[in-house]
Structures are given as structure tokens and as C-alpha cells.
Structure 1
């Protein structure tokens, strides 16, 4: 006689918002993000979608530990970020979050390898370890053959891949992407999105902030934000791209 199947526990939360909100002081005060709850678990690929001015940037700044909420509690990997001093928040951000922005923010006179290595300068990685870790990160994004190339000699898609490698090299818990295809043509955008899908399949937690429904459709779950309100959360579907 066989017993009942054992339930598989859900992955641990990476992001947990508990009535998190942010109000800028006035007069009059501006409620940029209204108190909301949100959980993003390890290994998820989530898109936060909304038009310009909807509150996406505020959400990004809170999730990325760039701004502190004025309401509620934000736990990152189970750590109550509201109890941390500024220096500890900065250190936590550097260890646990990898950022990918619309603008690549690469140094034009530094090679791809050097640009990726820069992310390791302030996190305690020894000088000896940095080149090999940066090389492995570039190989992870398919640019092992371009380690010595300058950004000025790379396509937009390649430059964004270098930026992704720089975000990954610190081995973060969360890859936080802000309009990662906004400066790319269709072919390069598709290549970068395919890379994010592969990283998700390999176990990385990916959170993409976008106004583009075609980008959101590549995620496994979407959250909609409008007028500072997280209004819906559910599985991503291709219908969102219509």
C-alpha cells in the first residue's frame, strides 16, 4: 500500500513585500506606491508591467534597495531591510541583487572583461579571483570569445549581454532588469530575452520592469502596476502582447 505523495514545499521567497508603500512628502504628499503585498519566489521569472508614470520606477527603487519604503516591511532573502543601516543596505544590495538597465552603463575604453570585473571590486573578491570569475560570467552569456572587445566595437545586444554578465558575476539572488531591451532592435531584443529565459531555466530569479507587453509575455508571471497600485498578478500569456 502506497502512502499519499509528499507535497513539495514552495521555494523560499527572494522578494517579500508586506504592505509596502512609498509616499513622498508634500505639500501635497504624493503616494507613489500604495501599500501592497508581493512575493517573488526563488527561481521565478516575473514581469512588472505598466505605462510611463505608473509607479514602476518607484517599485524598482524599493525592490533594488535604492529607496526605503515609508510603509510596510520589505524582506529580501528573509532579511528585514528596514532594520538595516545605510552601509548594511548597500552591502546587501551588492551581494544579493544584480542590476541590468536600459542604458548599458559600460565604460567605453575598458574591455568586456574589465567592465565585468568592476562589479567585483567592492564586494570583497580578491584581485586574483576577479579575471576568472568575470571570464566565466561572459561565457555564461555567450561572450567567451569577446572578452577583450571594447563596447564601442560591439553590437547593442552584445553590450547588453556584457551588462548581464556584470550583474551575474557577483552571484546574486535576484536579477533585476529595468527595460532591458529598450535600446535594442528587434533581433537583439529577442536575443537578450532568450538569454533571460535561459538564466531563469537555470534557476536564476529574474524580475523585469517593462512597459512593453511583448517583453512581459516572455515572463512566467506578470504583475500590473497603474497609478501606484499593484492591481493584478497571474500567469503571463501571449495574449498580453496583442
Structure 2
């Protein structure tokens, strides 16, 4: 007998998000989506199309008003608030356009903070944070404050912070939006390296160059999700 195939990292089953009022607002139309382990998916769409709503649901920051969201096979709509927070902290990594680093903490300390709420012992936090910084090419910048780092270096610290918890899913919201062309190339190379090492990535972007890095590209328009790839399952 062979082992059963692992569940998708994330799966939307008829997921939708509506806001009541007059008029009623459909932020995310009912959609189905499966993203398997190790996929590199990009998402494009104009401002106001629903990309942020999608990310907030995928990142367990918002709860959909309809449908089911399964993360690593876990139905996130059936867990407690504390369990949702634990899933978000252990299984999801976030990378943002604005970095969101603490200015008064060193690069190493910023990365360590991601593990504090997991209860990781201090000594292990330090070792794992150092390893994560080395992984993104910043092992020599651990004691630098963010104000002493370039934009590209700060984004690399943010990526190290996102992956140090060893998440199942890495969500990136315009990760190169504040970077110049040369630095964008460097960060895209790092994301490709993470994907090659087995990381599952979902990258939301306005940049066609960034979108082209994905193995699948989703399009969001007026709250409706479309997957134009040959094997796409979003609708």
C-alpha cells in the first residue's frame, strides 16, 4: 500500500467575503482554489480588485463569510481563536512591501521575535535566527539596526523573519514595491531559491516582471478569482 497524498497547503472551497449594507459589497466572489505543496503562485489585478481580501483570508487575518478554508488540511473555520492564532504564527509567513521591521531592534532581534510567541527557547531562537539570516545572505548584518540597512537588505531581513518559523505557506504582498530594479532582481532570486528548496509561495504584485516568476498566475478582477493556467482550479 502507498501512503495517501498530502493535502494541499491551502484550499478554498466556495470561499466568499461579503460586507452587509446598502449596497451589499462582494469583496471576494465565491471561489475554489487549490495550491499544492511547493507551488509558486503569483496574483495580479488592479487596486480594489480583492487581492487584499484574498490575502487577509489566506493569512487567517479575516474569516470568510461563506465557504471553507483548509490550511494543510485543517478546516480553519472550525478552530478556536487561539488555535487560529497558533496556525497563523506557525504555518504562515508574511512578507510586506513596507518591511515592518522594528527600528530599535537589530536585524537578528527582528528575526528572533517571530519565534517568541511559539515558545521557542531563547538559545534556539538565536541559532535559528542566525541560520535564517545566513540563508538570505545577511549573516554579516545581524547586529545592524534597520536604519543602517539598504531597502533590499531590510526586505531580506523581513524574508528571514517570515521563514524562520518554517511555515507551510509564504504570503508576499508587493514584496518588491519599494525596491529599485537591481534590488528587485536580487529579491526575486531569493524567492526563487526558497521555492527551489521546497517553500510554497503566493506573491501578490502589480509588477508584470514579478508575476512572470510564478509557475501559476492568478488574476483578480472585481472580487472574482481566475486561474488562466492550463491546470488551474480557481474560478
Structure 1 and Structure 2 fold alike (TM over 0.5): yes
How far apart in 2 are the matches of 1:209 and 1:178?
A: 5
Q: Secondary structure at the match of 2:105?
A: coil
Counterparts in 2 of 1:40-189, with a 5 A limit? 40-189=35-184
How far apart in 1 are the matches of 2:92 and 2:24?
A: 30
Residues 46-76 of structure 1 show CA distances to partners (whole Å, capped at 9, x for unaligned) of 0011111110000000000000001111000
How far apart in 1 are the matches of 2:44 and 2:207?
A: 7
The structure-2 alpha-carbon separation of the partners of 1:15 and 1:43, relative to structure 1 and needing over 3 Å to count, comes to: same
After superposing on structure 2, the runs of 4+ consecutive aligned residues of structure 1 that deviate more than 3 Å are: 9-12
How far apart in 2 are the matches of 1:179 and 1:60?
A: 11
Give the alignment partner of residue 208 of structure 2, picking from 194, 197, 213.
213
Give unpaired runs (5+ residues) of structure 1.
1-6, 236-242
Partner residue of 1:23?
18
How far apart in 2 are the matches of 1:43 and 1:231?
A: 20
How far apart are residue 10 of structure 1 and its match? Answer: 6.5
How far apart in 2 are the matches of 1:57 and 1:186?
A: 24
Q: Secondary structure at the match of 2:170?
A: strand
How far apart in 2 are the matches of 1:29 and 1:165?
A: 40
How far apart in 1 are the matches of 2:11 and 2:196?
A: 22
Cα root mean square deviation, aligned: 1.5
Q: Secondary structure at the match of 2:52?
A: helix
How far apart in 1 are the matches of 2:55 and 2:27?
A: 12
Q: Secondary structure at the match of 2:34?
A: strand
TM-score of the two chains, using structure 1 as the length reference? 0.91
How far apart are residue 11 of structure 1 and its match? Answer: 5.8
How far apart in 2 are the matches of 1:27 and 1:126?
A: 51
How far apart in 2 are the matches of 1:45 and 1:134?
A: 24
Aligned pairs, how many? 229
How far apart in 1 are the matches of 2:228 and 2:78?
A: 28
Give unpaired runs (5+ residues) of structure 2.
231-235
